[in-house]
Amino acid sequence: MFSSHAAPFESPRDKVPLIELRGISKQFGNTRVLDRIDFSLNAGEAIAIIGPSGTGKSTILRIIAGLLAADEGEIWVGGQKRLGLIEDAPDPLGIGMVFQQAALFDSLTVAENVGFLLYQHSRLSRREIKRLVSEALAMVGLPDVSNSYPAELSGGMRKRVSFARAVMSNPHKPTDRPSLLLYDEPTAGLDPIASTVIEDLIREIHSGQACSSYLIVTHQESTIRRTADWVVFLHAGRVQWFGRVDEIDSTDNPFVRQFFSAQVEGPIHVAG
């Protein structure tokens, strides 16, 4: 299901991938951040994209989300080539994005934040939206914060609220339900206990009905080990390793060895 020019890897393609990157390249100024990246994600899979800071992990997420255009290459969504950015064409799949910052509107209550898109874009009654918001907040373990403002919550709680918002969908338009969630550093800056809560939540959302496929960018080891099935190791614009999360400790790939042992010596050159 995966290949890279640096470390070729192929497995049987028995189904149409949910998302497929074909030869994706992106340059900023003189730096080629992504250099012909190929990989795909099948329905029901969870992939962690890892690697040193500044290797283009968030850039990949933004390209997949349709927020940023690649210079070269193609994105295939559910077997169809995507044309243009998300603003140019309707998103056939439903891609929800959970950013590093919870990015909630400070002047709106938690319930108004979670229901924001339905209030703006659906014809559902306020009562129906309130009910859906309550369900989503209960799912993330925060049934009692509807009327609070984001500033009244801890960082971990704000992240849970942003999860609730990402998985909200209109029951009358099932195609609105996100089929894929993109998490950009969802546990960055959280203490280990708050991180565990978020990791459990990611797993729960994954195994439940809400959304079973996701890509997660993280460099927190607990998050990699606890939330992903597969790992993409990115460095110098290329996929340097692809493997199952339980192969992290047995692979002799020098990039993976250096990263997980936090050694300065190795193929990854540490700036500064």
Residue list 16-35, contact with ligand ADP (CB under 6 A): 28, 33
Smallest separation, CB 28 to ligand ADP (Å)? 3
d(CA 48, CA 219): 9
Q: Which is nearer to ligand ADP, 56 or 94 (CB)?
A: 56
Residue list 37-76, contact with ligand ADP (CB under 6 A): 53-59
Interacting residues of 263 by C-beta distance below 8 A, sequence separation 6+: 257
Residue 44 is classified by DSSP as T
Smallest separation, CB 61 to ligand ADP (Å)? 8
Residue 92 has a CB neighbour count (10 Å cut-off) of: 13
Q: Which is nearer to ligand ADP, 63 or 140 (CB)?
A: 63
- Residue 11 carries which side chain, given as an amino acid letter? S
Q: Which is nearer to ligand ADP, 54 or 171 (CB)?
A: 54
Smallest separation, CB 140 to ligand ADP (Å)? 25
Residue 265 vs residues 69, 162, 215, 235: alpha-carbon distances, Å: 35, 38, 29, 15
Tokens 């190795």 locate to: 266
d(CA 122, CA 173): 9
Write each residue from 72 to 101 as x if it is in contact with ligand ADP (CB under 6 A), else as -, in one continuous string: ------------------------------
Q: Does 189 bind ligand ADP (CB under 6 A)?
A: no
Smallest separation, CB 4 to ligand ADP (Å)? 16
Quick one: how far is CA 45 from the chain centroid? 12
**Interface residues with ligand ADP (CB under 6 A)?**
28, 33, 53-59
